[in-house]
Chains A and B, each alone.
Chain A
Amino acid sequence: MFTAALIGILITMALALLRGALGPTVFDRILAVNVVGTQTVLLIAVAGFWSGRPEWLDLALVYALVNFVGTIAVLKYARFGNLAHDHTRERP
């Protein structure tokens, strides 16, 4: 049954990658990468149970954190063109 869940998650990742490759705007691509990251968290969690080693959940937790920070960083870069921009000072 874990195998079925893994296959579903992999199909979702493939669809999201396709949207990331097709996506007309940069925000479509960021959204697709965000979905791939979320599915990666689930993939690691399910794969840990699938192989009988649930200790991999630590990796899933760390990956969730990294995915969030990465998405926000890429969004900031896409909006301001600069990661060090202080958006509280001036409105773009």
Chain B
Amino acid sequence: MMIVDAASWILLAGGAGMCVIGGIGLLRFPDVYTRAHAAGINDTLGSWAILLGLMLQAGLGLVTVKLAMIGLFMAFVSPVTGHALLKAAYAHGVGVRTDEGEDEHVD
């Protein structure tokens, strides 16, 4: 149980750290496309590491099944939401910002 506890703690701390990294990227990246890339860290590695750590704490049972369902749902929903968001931003004419300034996208 000691090893399972240690693995769970590592996963929880690592997941929370990944979430904070994603939040920092969300705050500091220059345009909406790169910010969505930073938010992807939250949706994938951050949330799955935290959910896996909680699964190790819970052991086999209904709680683990619920956690797995949350993780599975995030795995399906996060790409759909990101795709819809960025497609809407692109269709709306949001440009890409580079070091040289903001470029309007070209079709």
- Once the chains are docked, how many angstroms separate the CA of A57 from the CA of B20? 22
| Interface size counted on chain B using CB atoms at 8 A | 47
- B contacts with A: majority SS: helix
B88 adjacent to A31 (CB under 8 Å)? no
A4-B12, A46-B54, A54-B58 given as contacts; is B70 within 8 A of A41 (CB)?
yes
- Give chain A interface residues in 8-31, CB to chain B under 8 Å: 8-9, 11-16, 18-19, 22, 25, 27-28, 30-31
The one of B27, B50, B51, B57 that contacts A19, using a Cβ cutoff of 8 Å: B27
Q: Is A84 an interface residue (CB 8 A)?
A: no
B19 adjacent to A12 (CB under 8 Å)? yes
**30 pairs across A/B with beta carbons < 8 Å?**
A1-B9, A5-B50, A7-B16, A8-B16, A8-B17, A9-B16, A12-B20, A12-B42, A18-B27, A19-B26, A25-B92, A25-B94, A27-B89, A31-B26, A31-B32, A31-B39, A34-B81, A34-B85, A35-B23, A42-B46, A49-B54, A58-B66, A60-B66, A64-B70, A64-B73, A64-B74, A68-B73, A68-B80, A71-B84, A79-B91
Residues of B at the A interface (CB closer than 8 Å) are 8-9, 12-13, 15-17, 19-20, 22-24, 26-27, 32, 35-36, 39, 42-43, 46-47, 50-51, 53-54, 57-58, 63, 66-67, 69-70, 73-74, 77-78, 80-81, 84-86, 88-89, 91-92, 94
